[in-house]
Amino acid sequence: MDGASHPSVRSTCPYCGVGCGVKLRADGAGGLSVKGDPDHPANRGRLCSKGHALGQTVGLEDRLLTPHVHGTKASWDEALTLVAQRFSDTIAKHGPDSVAFYVSGQLLTEDYYVANKLMKGFIGSANIDTNSRLCMASTVAGHKRAFGTDTVPGTYEDLEQADLVVLTGSNLAWCHPVLYQRLAAARKERGTKIVVIDPRRTATCDIADLHLKLKLGTDVALFNGLLAHLGKTGALDAQFLKTHTSGIDEAITAASADDPATTGLDPADIARFYAMFAATERTVTVFSQGVNQSTSGTDKVNAILNCHLATGRIGKPGMGPFSVTGQPNAMGGRETGGLSNMLAVHLDLETAEHRTAVQTFWSAPRIAKRPGLKAVDMFQAVAEGRIKALWIACTNPAVSMPDADAVRAAIKGCDFTVVSDITGQTDTARLAHVLLPATGWGEKDGTVTNSDRTISRQRAALPAPGLARPDWAIFTEVGRRMGWQDAFDYAAPSEIFREHAALSGIAARLGRDFDISGLADLTDADYDALAPTRWPVTAARAGGRFFGDGRFFTPDGRARILPVRQRAPAAKRTARYPFRLNTGRTRDQWHTMTRTGLASRLARHLAEPFLQLHPQDATALNLHPADIAQVQSPHGTALLRVLISDDATLGAPFAPIHWTGETAPAARIDTLIAPACDPISGQPESKASVIAIERFDAAWYGFAVAANKPNPDAAYWARVRTDLGWRLELAGATPETDWPALACRLFGLQSDPQILTDRASGLSRLAFADPHGRLTAALFVSPEPVAVARDYVAGLIGQPLGSVLAARPSGASPDPGPTICSCMGVGANTLLAAASECGTDLDRVCAATGAGQTCGSCRSEITSLISRFALRDAAE
Ligand SMILES: Nc1nc2c(c(=O)[nH]1)N[C@H]1C(S)=C(S)[C@@H](COP(=O)(O)OP(=O)(O)OC[C@H]3O[C@@H](n4cnc5c(=O)[nH]c(N)nc54)[C@H](O)[C@@H]3O)O[C@H]1N2
Ligand SMILES: Nc1nc2c(c(=O)[nH]1)N[C@H]1C(S)=C(S)[C@@H](COP(=O)(O)OP(=O)(O)OC[C@H]3O[C@@H](n4cnc5c(=O)[nH]c(N)nc54)[C@H](O)[C@@H]3O)O[C@H]1N2
Ligand code: SF4
Ligand SMILES: [Mo]
């Protein structure tokens, strides 16, 4: 088919909460080209490395294409009837609170709306919670305490109009790359001052005027110190405080009782930050998981909101607190009431008037009267057999929940588990009794809301593969089969959206912020054509900011400034567990890698799980680069590659969250995390568990490449895709004598490999060839960490066997080194070579190599690479 029969479709990137617009064009053979949408207000055509690689993730190789019941293919009718029956029977026998849904901020608003309606209005329990509990719950609770509603006051433009942007607990450069680029561009133009507050040095620090490397978990002390400072120096907005807020005196008294020295920061740096904040009217404070994921997450949020409310810096151009959301529809989930302590459309479960309004609107037989179980408690209830039927949709809790081994065991032991996913190959899906194939991004239609309240359409550009169905349709079918035909009689997402929009009008009349009643009468054609729209959308109002007028959604209309106090993380360091484990994201992977893991170019950035350790910690532990560390917590164990860096925090190493039973089973990071939660938000403390670290005494180390997926059996392994197949890191706990046998098992091959052993280093190379003498698989093993040029070797699949046995780059094709620019596949060595030829100017190096010009996510890494090169050069 030609391009003309596949018109460009406007949609939204399915990853982070920036919510970039994309233009998609199907090639008619299952492929998809993806470009940034120049007309989308979030990104104006830009995309980051993950957005750029979307086209590489739509293949059907790992897709779940049919329903499965007890591991066997089944028809939809069979699967849905069973789900409806088991849920109905369980409810009849044990009551509505014996069942639960665990859903996701990656569902579309329409999916979310029907799941929530089914549970809260028809089943009559509030046992629906979402992975947003692990993500945004503390912000939701903090917003509600201060504003009366869960309202994000500002817009992305505020970051561009500010004179000071404070980023706390946010690695914006890697996690919200396009917003970071907008900020970096604004800084270039207007000289925005930037302060980063993070216990480790991140890529975001590249544009920081000040990096406050505070002790993990001490944000409240820092912001309380700021509030006290603002009070002492007369920087408060007395008029705003008097007319629009309450609680300032109590808050300042509490704040003054905390000591900013708790942060461990240099007092001069603290003073500089406080002076900058006090002096700058146009200040935005961006916060994310370093704030939310804490047992004092809600207090951290309010400590930040306090400083903005006390200075009246909220809801006006270039100022305000700004929670950047993680998932593409974290906001939509909050709007539809996907959390177990919310109703729908920002109405409160605890308020009888709100419950009645929703029940009446839905014509629901019942309505949940009290909050349901929050994620951690929900899986605890599953473990204890109190939840007997569980439906997990669009999330992978066996990996991402704290105490992940216990969660995995709980799911496994549940009487009846349903999983809806796009793939059956996840740690969670493998435990399901019923597996339901969902349509994925690129195939589904609906809406998402990004961090700045902009509602965008996701539109299908590809047909649904196999028997896959949209999530809203699956929930709807089960609702009907449970006996509620009329309430779940939707034929299209537009019908659900209109209902949601109409309900929001009722919420607005009850004094809530979320109001999109202006969209309640969209025709199907209007819905199809809906351009990105920031809420609220009413007859009277469209978009804009909240709270600039000083009117809040509390009963007295005043914002609450709250007294909060610094508290240490829940787990205490002991002689047995002397370190804290910080966790988070890397630039090119998304969560449990079910989609980004399909794009070989994204695997080049950081192809292995790692423990980023401070050099002093490494020395004390006698750990060297590329060693493997054995990490233990009171909850579990993990093996991680040692990466030594000054960027790390002394005493608090960092590890990525992305690795799973499918990709690196010894490195599932949440097995280490304590299930300790914030008492108000119920959000787990995912970044501050205590751990012990020691050297893993590997008997051998290995590296492998293969055309076909290898199946390792070793104490440690990590497997990613390459352009030509797969690559694998390995380490064994026990000595191995028969390498050819191990290699044959690993690759599923019967033939004899060619072997070359270097007696001096002990490195053995085992290479397998096809009948034409071309390389199909190779294994390198050594008593020491294997030193070969990884990307180079991965590129030898299909080449004559001799090249791999030599395993060093020939003159004709120099080893490009580890990939820095994933969009263009430019390696560190190529960049260094360019720097030596054309100097260390970033733009020149980028121009010479093609790096850093597509999405720009790697520009900070190129800068630090070439600056290190310049230093080395100067020293020589
Ligand atoms: N590449 C990529 N981007 C993503 C995602 C992804 O998986 N990959 N996921 C998306 C999602 S769902 C989310 S929620 C966001 C998360 O976006 P971020 O919150 O920016 O990402 P994290 O890496 O989890 O954590 C941010 C930083 O918090 C710091 N931190 C840890 N403890 C503390 C502390 O006590 N105080 C302070 N001030 N900082 C601390 C960490 O060192 C880390 O650098 O990213 C979104 N974007
Ligand atoms: N230690 C630690 N743990 C953390 C965090 C941390 O910083 N540290 N961060 C937490 C945060 S903020 C988050 S958001 C979570 C994320 O954790 P998860 O939500 O568990 O991670 P994902 O890999 O995004 O899971 C999404 C699942 O949905 C599937 N999927 C994709 N599209 C669709 C679809 O359209 N329909 C359906 N039905 N399924 C689909 C994917 O294949 C995948 O299995 O992790 C949390 N866990
Ligand atoms: S910044 Fe990147 S991951 Fe986030 S929405 Fe935009 S393209 Fe997608
Ligand atoms: Mo998240």
Rounded to the nearest angstrom, the distance between the alpha carbon of 292 and the centre of ligand 1 is 10
The DSSP line for 491-511 is SSHHHHHHHHHHHHHHHHHTT
- Compute the distance between CA of residue 451 and CA of residue 683 in angstroms, rounded to an integer: 19
618-676: per-residue pLDDT in tens? 999 999 988 999 999 999 999 999 999 999 999 999 999 999 999 999 999 999 999 99
Q: Is 178 close to ligand 3, i.e. is its CB under 6 Å away?
A: yes
Residue to probe by mutation, ligand 1, list 613, 687, 690, 857, most atoms within 8 Å of CB:
687
Does ligand 3 lie within 6 Å of residue 53's CB atom?
A: no
For ligand 1, the distance from its centroid to the CA atom of residue 843, given in whole angstroms, is 28
Q: Among 104, 399, 586, which residue has the most ligand 2 atoms within 8 Å of its CB, making it the best to mutate?
A: 104
Q: Strand pairing partners for 100? A: 390
Q: What is the position in ligand 2's atom list of the atom closest to the CA of 585?
A: 7
Q: Are the C-beta atoms of residues 748 and 723 closer than 8 Å to each other?
A: no
Distance 587 CA to ligand 4 centre (A): 14
Between CA 144 and CA 128 the distance in angstroms is 20
Tens of pLDDT, residues 693-705: 999 999 999 999 9
What percent of the chain lies above the pLDDT cut of 70?
Answer: 96
- The CATH architecture annotation of domain 579-695 reads Beta Barrel (2.40)
Task: Determine the distance separating the centroid of ligand 1 and the alpha carbon of 133, expressed in angstroms.
Answer: 15
Identify any residues that bridge with 392 across adjacent strands, giving them in sequence order.
Answer: 102, 419
Which CATH number does 3-57 carry?
A: 3.30.200.210
For residue 280, the CA-to-ligand 2 centroid distance in Å is 38
- Alpha helices by DSSP H, listed for 759-812, are 790-794, 801-806
Q: Is the pLDDT of residue 831 over 90?
A: no
Q: How high is the pLDDT of residue 873?
A: 45
CA nearest to 121, candidates 356, 330, 387? 356
Given strand 164-168, what is the order of strands in its sheet? 210-212, 193-197, 164-168, 283-287, 320-323
Pocket of ligand 2 (CB under 6 A): 104, 106, 131, 134-135, 289, 293, 326-327, 393-397, 399-400, 420-423, 426, 438, 440, 471, 583-584, 591-592, 594, 657, 669-670, 673, 686
Task: Provide the pLDDT confidence category of residue 874 given band limits of 50, 70 and 90.
Answer: very low
The whole-number average pLDDT for the span 464-484 is: 98
**816 pLDDT tier (thresholds 50, 70, 90):** low
CA of 15 to the centre of ligand 3 (A): 6
pLDDT at 131 over 70: yes
Angstrom distance (rounded) from CA 516 to CA 534: 9
In 438-555, DSSP assigns E strands to 446-449, 454-458, 533-534
3-state DSSP call for residue 695? strand
Q: How far, in Å, are 45, 190, 193, 514 from residue 187 at the CA level?
A: 19, 5, 7, 32
Residues 19 and 106: their CA atoms lie apart, in Å, by 12
pLDDT of residue 3: 44
Pocket lining: 19 vs ligand 3, CB cutoff 6 Å: yes
Q: Which CATH number fits domain 819-875: 1.10.3210.10, 1.10.10.1100, 3.30.565.10, 1.10.1040.10?
A: 1.10.10.1100
Q: How confident is the prediction for the chain on average, in pLDDT?
A: 94
pTM value?
A: 0.94
Mean pLDDT for the stretch of residues 352-358: 98
Distinct helix (H) and strand (E) counts, the chain: 29, 34
Per-residue confidence at 300, pLDDT binned at 50, 70, 90? Answer: very high
- Ligand 1 neighbour 175 (Cβ under 6 A): yes
Instruction: Indicate the DSSP class of residue 105.
Output: T
Looking at the CA of 398, which ligand is closest? 2
Q: In testing the pocket of ligand 3, which one of 23, 43, 174 has its CB within 8 Å of the most ligand atoms? A: 43
Please determine, looking at this structure, whether the domain spanning 68-135+329-534 carries the CATH number 3.40.50.740: yes
Give the residue, 678 or 5, on which the prediction is more confident.
Answer: 678
Strand partners, 167: 196, 286
Q: pLDDT at residue 809 above 50?
A: no
Q: How far apart are CA 105 and CA 678, in angstroms?
A: 20
Alpha carbon nearest to ligand 1 atom 32, residue: 290
pLDDT of 378 higher than 50: yes
Q: Which of 434, 448, 657, 660 to mutate to test the pocket of ligand 2 (most atoms within 8 A of CB)?
A: 657
Among 183-197, 589-603, 777-791, 827-841, whose mean pLDDT is lowest? 827-841
Distance CA 516, CA 109 (A): 13
Q: Give the position of tokens 């070579």.
A: 833
Cα–Cα distance for residue pair 534/449, rounded to 1 Å:
8
Binned at pLDDT 50, 70 and 90, residue 5 comes out as low
pLDDT-based confidence at residue 802 (cuts at 50, 70, 90): confident
The CATH 3.40.228.10 domain(s) of the chain lie at 137-323
Q: Whose CA is nearest to atom 23 of ligand 1?
A: 584
**What's the CATH fold of domain 137-323?**
Dimethylsulfoxide Reductase; domain 2 (3.40.228)
Query: pLDDT category, 761, cuts 50, 70, 90?
Result: confident
- Locate the ligand 2 atom nearest the alpha carbon of residue 583 and give its number: 8
578 pLDDT more than 60: yes
Q: Is the peptide bond before 365 cis (omega within 30 degrees of 0)?
A: no
Average pLDDT value for residue range 494-519: 97
Ligand 3 atom nearest to CA at 14: 8
Q: State residue 1's pLDDT score.
A: 41
- For the chain, where do the domains classified as CATH 3.40.50.740 start and end? 68-135+329-534
Q: Measured from the CB, is residue 36 less than 6 Å from ligand 3? A: no
Predicted confidence (pLDDT) per residue in 720-745, tens digit: 999 999 999 999 999 999 999 999 99
Give, for ligand 1, the residue of 107, 167, 175, 215 to mutate: max count of ligand atoms closer than 8 Å to Cβ: 175
CA distance 139 to 156: 18
Q: Check pocket membership of 32 for ligand 3, CB cut-off 6 A.
A: no
Distance 697 CA to ligand 4 centre (A): 35
Residue 336 to residue 342: CA distance in whole angstroms:
9
